A and B are shown apart, each in its own frame.
Chain A
Amino acid sequence: MSIDLSRREFIQLGAATAGALAVGQLLPLMVVQAAQEAGMLNTSGDGTIPSMCEMCVWRCGLLAKVRDGRVVKLDGNPDHPHSRGHLCVRGQSGLFNTYDPDRVLHPLIRVGRRGEGRFRRVSWDEALDYTAERMLEIKQTYGPEAMVFSSTHNLSQVQFENLLYAYGSPNYGTQRSLCFNAMIVANLMTYGIEEPERIYDDQLQYIILTGRNLMEAVSTSETGDLSAAIARGAHVVYLDPRFTKTAAKATEWLPIKPGTDLAFHLALLNVIIGEDLYDHAFVTSYTVGFEQLAQEVAAYTPEWAAAITEIDADRIRRIAREFAAAAPHALAHNGWRTSNFINSFQTQRAITILNALIGNWNVTLRAGGGEASGALGTIPQPAYPRSSAQRLDHVPSRFPVVPLKLGVFQELRDSILSGEPYQAHGWFIARQNPVMSLPDRARTLQAFEKMDFIVTVDILVNDTAWFSDVILPEASYLERYDPLNVVGDRAYLRQPVIEPQGEARSALWIYKQLGERLGLGDYFQYTDEQDYINQQLAPLGVSLEDIRSQGYVDLPPSEAGGFEWNTPSGRIELFSDTLARVGFSGVPVWEPPPEPPQGEFYLLTGKVAQSTQFGTQNNQMLHKYADEPRLWLNEGVAADRGLVDGDWVEVSSEVGVGHIRLLVTPAIRPDCVYLTPGFGHLSRGLTTAFGLGASDSALHVTYTDPVSGSQALSQTFVTVRKV
C-alpha cells in the first residue's frame, strides 16, 4: 500500500485518531490497565495521570486529564520544580502534538526518490530487519564509523548512545554545538561543571541577561522566577539587538550591537577589577589566575567598549558598579548562546568570571544536580568495542577542549560532504531534524545525497524524515515510557497516559529491537520499558507500580554544595590552563566580530514562546495562536527604502534565499533583521506547517568557533529587497 504524503489530504483532528485507535484496540489496553490498577483511572477510563512534558528541554511535570481513553487536558504538576503547577503555551498544546493528524503511526520505507514523499507502509519486523541489514552492511563494508548517529538531547539519549557505542561508531552528533557548546565549555573551563544552577530567591537584586529572552524562550519556572524578581524590584539589565518581550519587562534594555556583548562584559570586568569592586576574600580563597585576568582586561575600558557596542560608557560603568554593589545577590546569566557569534565563547567565559569576581557561588549560583544520579540503577552491559577511527566532527583532533558528548555537529555534516578523512555512508537520526537545524540547509541536503542509507525515528514526517529511507514511528511523549529523569532530589517518571496510537513505539523499545537485530542484544538487557525503569528503581527498593500514581521517587538527599570545583586546580579558573595548553587564551580576550558590508544586515535569530525550534510549527493549536512568521525590519530603515509593513521581500545570504512578509517595527536595531525561526518546512507531510514562512537555516552560513565548536548562527549577513 503506497502512501503519497505529498498529496495527503488534510484530515480533521480526531478522524485520524479514530482509525488509529481501532488498530490499537487489537492490542490489550496495557496503559489503561496499569493506570487503573494504580488507581489513577476509574473503570470508565477517566482520571489523572502524572507524567512529563517534552515540548522543550525544561521537561515540566504535568498532570494529564484522561477521559474515556483520550487525553483531554494537560495541567502543570504542582510537585515538579520546573512546572510548580503551571505549563507554558507549548506544554498546554502538547496533546495537539499527540493527536496531530499528520502523526506517522506506522513504519514506512521509501519507494520514490528521496524528497518525493512516496513511502510504503510496512510492518515493524520488515522495517527493523531492513534497517539492521543496511546498517550491518555498512559496518561490514566500510566499518562502523561510516554510520553516523545523531539525536537531540532527550530522556532516552542514554540508550541512543548505548546503541551507537555498541555498534562501534564514534560519530555522534547532537544539537549541542548548534545551541550551547560555548556555554558548556566555558562553564567546564571555569567551574568544571556543565551549567551551574541559578538561585532566584527574595534577595536577588541584580540580573544581567545577555540574550536569554526568558519571556519568550519560556522555561516555565525560571520565567516565573524572573518575573517575580522583577515584580519585587530586582534590577534587570537585558542585552539584545531586539526589543523582545523580555526587553519590555526588563529595567534596562540595551540595544547592543550584534557580536559585541563580549566587549560589554570585558568592560564590566575592567571596571570591577579597576575600581576594586570585586570580592577579595572570595577571589583569594577560591580562584586562580586573577593576575593574568587583571592584566588582560586593563585595556577594556568602558570608553573602548562604548565605541564598539554603541552603549554609553557611563552606562556600562554604572552597571558594573551596581552589579558589584549588589554582590553577592547579583547574577550574570549565561543564557544559551549570548549573541551567537564566534566570539561568544569568550563572552561566556567573561560571564562566568563576572559571577566569580563578585563571589555569588552558593548564593545565586550553585552546582546543579545534573540529570544522572548515582542513586539510580543502571542496566548492565558489556564493555563497548574500541573505535580506532577518527571522529568526523574532528573532536578532539581539531577541537581539543570540546567534550565528546557535545561534538561539533556542523563539522560532522561538512565531513560527510567532503568525504574526509573517510566517507560516511549511513545516518541514524532520532528525535532530531538536522535538515532544518544545521546551518546552510542546501549543504545538509547535499550531505544527505551522499548517504546510502538514512533512517529516522520521529513522531511526524518532519523534513529529515521526508528525505529518509526508513521512518520508524516513535510514540509521542504522552504515549510512552522513558528512563527516569532526575531533577533536584527526585527522579521523575514519564509514563504513557493513553495507549500508543497506531503502531507507534517508544524509543527504548526501538533501540532494543534494533540492537538485537544488530547482534547487540547484550547491550539491551531489559525486557521492556517497565523492566528498564524497575532496574533503575531497584537500588531504592521500590518498583514502578509503587511510584506510578505519585509520578516520582525521592532520592537520597545530595550533599549541600561546598566550595570545590571539578577543575584541574580544584578552584574557579579565571585563567584556564587547559585552554592555554592547547593554544587558546587562558583568560577571556577580545575578538572583534565581523560586520556586514554596507547595505546588508545582521540576520538575527531568537525564540518565540509558541514554538520550539523546528518541531512545533505543525501543531494546530500553536499555529492558531502564534504570530505569522515575518522578517523584522527597523521602521526608519524601511521608510528609507520605501518598504511598508506586509510587503513581500526576498532575503538572501551567500548560501540561500527566502521569501517572506515584512514586519516593520521600531523594535529592532537599524542594522539588523530578524526572521521568525523554524519555518520554511520542506516536508509536505506537515500539512499545517508546509508553505508557511521562510527557512532561517537555508540562509545561515556555517561558522564554527574553534574553541567550543559552537555554531555562530547570528554571524550571517543578508540583503533584503522587495519582490
Chain B
Amino acid sequence: MTHQPTNPRYGFLIDASYCIDCRSCMVACSVENNVPMDSTRIWIKETGITGTYPDLKRFTAPFHCMHCKDPSCVSACTVSALTRNDDGIVSYNQDICIGCRYCVYACPFGVPNYQWDEPLPLVIKCDMCFARLGEGQQPACAATCPTGAIQFGRYEDMLAEAHRKINERPDKYVQHIYGEEENGGTATLYISPVPFEELGFPIAGTTSPAYSNRLVTEGTPMVAGAMLVGLTGVYLTIKHLREEAERDRVEAAKEKAAQSAGEEQ
C-alpha cells in the first residue's frame, strides 16, 4: 500500500562554488515558463558577506524544487494538483489547485511560492521544464548558466559526478551531497564549498515524512470500517442487555404482582 519511491530519471547537480549570482537562471526560467511578475520558481540562496574587512567571503547558490523521490507536497496535496511522474518530475496542475497551501507548509525545503497578492492565486514551483525535456533541451536554468553551476542529466550521472567532485577536492568541498538523502533523497543535488546551513539550506532529515503520513492516512479506511462494526456491535449489545434487563424487570414485576395477588386470595 505504501509505495516504494523510485529513483528519478533526471537530476540536477548544482555546484555552489560556480554560482556568481548573475541571475540568468531566474530570468531564463521566468521567460520560459511565463512566471508571473510577482513570483519566481528559482531564486538565489546566499551566505551573505561574511568575515571582517578585508578578509571577506560570499557564496551563493540557485535554489528551486528538489523533486523529491517521496515528495511531502505530493502526499499532502488535497486535490492531487501536485504529482510526481514516472521520470521523477514533481509538477503542478494549476487548473486543479484550490489554494489550501498545505504544500507550502509541508515542503521541508520551502519550495512552493504563493501569489499572495493575487485574488485568484496559484502556487509557483519549478517543474524541471519538462516541456523543454520533451524537445530535447535542458531545463532553462541549466541550459543558460554561463558558468555551468547548474548541471543537468541522468540522475545516476549527476550523483556520480557529485561524488567524484567532492572526493577529488576534499579541500574545496564540504564532504556532503545535499539531496542525496535529505527528505528521503531528491533529484536536485548540491555540492558546496561551505556548510549548507550557511547558505540557508534547511536541515532536513533522511526520511520523508510523506511515508509516515501515508502510513496513517492509508490506514484510515480500515479504522473507519472497524469503528462502524465496533460501534454497531456495542449498540446492539447494550440494547440487547437493556432489553433483557427490561424483560427481567417486567417479569419480576409480573411475578410480584401475581404473588401479591395470589397472597391476597
Chain A residues packing against B (C-beta within 8 Å): 72-76, 85-89, 91-93, 95-96, 215-216, 218, 220-221, 223-224, 227-228, 231, 243, 245-249, 253, 255, 609-610, 620-622, 624-626, 634, 636, 665-667
Q: Is B37 an interface residue (CB 8 A)?
A: yes
Residue B24 contacts which of A73, A92, A253, A667 (CB distance < 8 angstroms)? A92
Query: If A87-B24, A89-B22, A665-B49 touch, does A76 touch B58 (CB 8 Å cutoff)?
Result: no
- Contact check, B37 vs A88: say whether CB atoms are below 8 A apart: no
* B61 is an interface residue with CB less than 8 A from chain A: no
B146 and A220 contacting across the interface, CB-CB below 8 Å: yes
- Of residues 1 to 53 in B, which have CB atoms within 8 Å of A's CB atoms? 17-18, 20-24, 26-28, 30-32, 37, 40, 49, 51-53
A248 lies within 8 A of B22 (CB): no
A-B contact pairs, 21 of them (CB 8 A): A75-B140, A76-B143, A86-B146, A87-B28, A88-B22, A89-B22, A89-B26, A89-B27, A223-B146, A224-B146, A224-B147, A243-B56, A247-B56, A248-B58, A253-B56, A609-B23, A610-B22, A625-B23, A665-B49, A666-B52, A666-B53
B73 at the A interface (CB under 8 A): no
Instruction: Find chain B residues with CB under 8 A from A246 CB.
Output: 20
For chain B, residues 158 to 186, give those with C-beta under 8 angstroms from any C-beta of chain A. Answer: none
The answer for the CA separation of A109 and B190 in the assembled complex, in Å, is 56
A266 to B140, CA, bound (A): 46
* CB of A379, distance to nearest CB on chain B (Å): 36
Which residues of chain B are within 8 angstroms of A218 by Cβ–Cβ distance?
Answer: 20, 22, 24, 146
A72 / chain B contacts, CB cutoff of 8 Å: 31
Chain B, residue nearest A87 (CB) = B144
In the complex, the answer to whether B145 meets A215 with C-beta atoms within 8 Å is no
Asked if A88 contacts B18 (CB within 8 A), the reply is no
* Distance, CA A621 to CA B23, complexed state (A): 11
Asked whether B145 lies within 8 Å of A86 as measured between CB atoms, the reply is: yes
Contact indicator B31/A620 (Cβ below 8 Å): no
B148 at the interface (CB under 8 A from A): yes
Q: Are A622 and B49 CB-contacts (below 8 A) given A87-B144, A223-B146, A249-B20?
A: no
Chain A: which residue is nearest B39 at the CB level? A624
A243 vs B52: C-alpha distance when bound (angstroms) = 12
**Given A89-B22, A609-B23, also A95-B147 (CB < 8 A):** no
The complex places the Cα of A253 from the Cα of B137 at a distance, in Å, of: 38
User: What mask results when residues 227 to 262 of chain B are scored 1 for a CB within 8 Å of chain A, else 0?
Assistant: 000000000000000000000000000000000000
Residues of B within 8 A of A667 (CB): 49, 56
A249-B20, A255-B53, A625-B26 provided; 4 other pairs, C-beta below 8 A? A92-B27, A231-B18, A248-B57, A609-B20
Q: Chain B residues near A95: list those with CB within 8 A.
A: 31
Instruction: Look across to chain B and name the residue whose beta carbon is closest to the beta carbon of A254.
Output: B54
The yes or no answer to B152 lying at the interface (CB within 8 A) is: no
Residues of B within 8 A of A245 (CB): 20-22, 58
A68 to chain B, nearest CB (A): 14
Chain A residues with Cβ below 8 Å from B58 are 243, 245, 248
How many residues on B have C-beta within 8 angstroms of the other chain's C-beta atoms?
32
Q: Give the docked Cα–Cα distance between A74 and B137 (Å).
A: 13
For B28, B32, B37, which residue has the most chain A Cβ atoms within 10 angstroms? B28
Nearest-neighbour CB distance to chain A for B8, whole angstroms, equals 24
Closest to A626 in B: B23
Q: Which residues of B in the span 126-155 have a Cβ within 8 Å of any Cβ on A?
A: 137, 140, 143-148
Give CA–CA (A87, B145) in the complex, Å.
Answer: 7
Task: Assess whether B21 is in contact with A634, with CB atoms less than 8 Å apart.
Answer: no
Q: Is B59 an interface residue (CB 8 A)?
A: yes
Closest beta carbon of chain B to A620's beta carbon, Å: 7
CA gap between A665 and B56 in the complex, in Å:
11
| A268 → B minimal CB distance (Å) | 20
Q: How far is the CA of A220 from the CA of B37 in the complex (A)?
A: 25
User: What separation, in Å, do the CA atoms of A253 and B59 have in the docked complex?
Assistant: 15
Q: Which residues of A contact B32 (CB under 8 A)?
A: 73
CB of A89 within 8 A of CB of B140, answer: no
Asked if A224 meets B49 with Cβ closer than 8 Å, knowing A243-B56, A245-B58, A621-B30, the reply is no
Residue on B with the closest CB to A220?
B146
B30 / chain A contacts, CB cutoff of 8 Å: 621, 624-625
Q: Which residues of A contact B17 (CB under 8 A)?
A: 231
Contact partners of A86 in chain B: CB under 8 A: 24, 143-146
Complex interface: chain A residues within 8 A of B23 (CB): 89, 609-610, 625-626
Are B37 and A75 closer than 8 Å at their CB atoms?
A: no
B213 to chain A, nearest CB (A): 36
Also in contact, A227 and B148, with CB within 8 A (given A243-B56, A666-B49):
yes
Q: Once bound together, how far apart are the Cα atoms of A454 and B179, in whole Å?
A: 60
Residues of B within 8 A of A89 (CB): 22-24, 26-27
A88/B31 contact (C-beta < 8 A), A248-B58, A620-B37 known: no
Distance of A622 Cα from B27 Cα, bound (Å): 8
Q: Which residue of B lies closest to A667 (CB)?
A: B49
B18 closest partner in A (C-beta): A227
CB distance from A639 to the nearest CB of B (A): 12
Give complex CA distance A677, B49 in Å. Answer: 21
Q: What is the bound-complex CA distance between A73 and B32, given in angstroms?
A: 6
> In angstroms, how far is the closest chain A Cβ from the Cβ of B124?
13
B29 to chain A, nearest CB (A): 9
For B137, the chain A residues whose CB sits under 8 A away are 75
- CA of A88 to CA of B145 in the docked complex: distance in angstroms? 7
* Among all A-B residue pairs, the 8 with the closest Cβ atoms: A227-B147, A215-B20, A89-B24, A92-B27, A609-B22, A248-B58, A92-B28, A666-B53
B residues 94-142 in Cβ contact with A at 8 Å: 137, 140
- With a cutoff of 8 Å between Cβ atoms, the chain A residues found around residue B57 in the complex are 248
Known: A87-B28, A215-B22. A223 touches B49 (CB 8 A): no
Q: Report the minimum CB–CB distance from B149 to chain A (whole Å).
A: 8
Q: How far is the CA of A49 from the CA of B35 in the complex (A)?
A: 23
Cβ B140 vs Cβ A73 within 8 A: yes
Nearest chain B CB to A628 CB, angstrom units: 14
Closest A residue to B53 using CB positions: A666
Min CB–CB distance B232 → chain A (angstroms): 61
Give CA–CA (A215, B51) in the complex, Å.
Answer: 21
Question: Bound state CA distance, A245 and B20, in angstroms?
Answer: 6
Chain B residues with CB under 8 Å of A636's CB are 53
Contacts of B21 in A (CB 8 A): 245, 609
Residues in A neighbouring B51, C-beta threshold 8 A: 666
Question: Using Cβ atoms and an 8 Å threshold, which residues of chain A touch B37?
Answer: 620, 624
A227 to B140, Cβ gap below 8 A? Answer: no
Q: Is the Cβ of B24 less than 8 Å from the Cβ of A666?
A: no
Q: Which residue of B lies closest to A12 (CB)?
A: B37
Residues of chain A within 8 A of B31, CB atoms compared: 72-74, 92-93, 95-96, 621
Task: Give Cα A93–Cα B27 distance, bound, in whole angstroms.
Answer: 6
- Contact (Cβ within 8 A) A88 B20: no
Q: Return chain B residues, CB-CB under 8 Å to A243.
A: 49, 53-54, 56, 58
- A622 — which chain B residues lie within 8 A by C-beta? 27
A620 to B27, CA, bound (A): 11
The docked-state distance in angstroms from the alpha carbon of A249 to that of B28 is 23
A636 to B146, CA, bound (A): 35
Q: Are B24 and A88 in contact (CB under 8 A)?
A: yes
Task: Specify which chain B residues have a CB less than 8 angstroms from the CB of A666 in the assembled complex.
Answer: 49, 51-53, 56
Whole-angstrom distance from the CB of B52 to the nearest CB of chain A? Answer: 7
**Residue with the greatest number of chain A CB neighbours at <10 A, chosen from B32, B37, B54, B59:** B54
> In angstroms, how far is the closest chain B Cβ from the Cβ of A472?
29
| Complex contacts, A227 vs chain B, CB 8 Å | 18, 20, 146-148
> Shortest distance in angstroms between A219's beta carbon and chain B's nearest beta carbon?
9
A625 touches B53 (CB 8 A): no
A216 touching B49, Cβ below 8 Å: no
Q: How far is the CB of A340 from chain B (nearest CB, A)?
A: 21
Closest chain A residue, CB of each to CB of B30 = A621
Q: Which of A88, A96, A621 contacts B146 (CB 8 A)?
A: A88
Q: A75 CA to B129 CA in the complex, in Å?
A: 14
Most B-side CB within 10 Å, residue of A243, A622, A625, A634: A625
Contact with A along B52-93 (1 / 0, CB 8 A): 111011110000000000000000000000000000000000
Residues of A within 8 A of B56 (CB): 243, 247-248, 253, 666-667
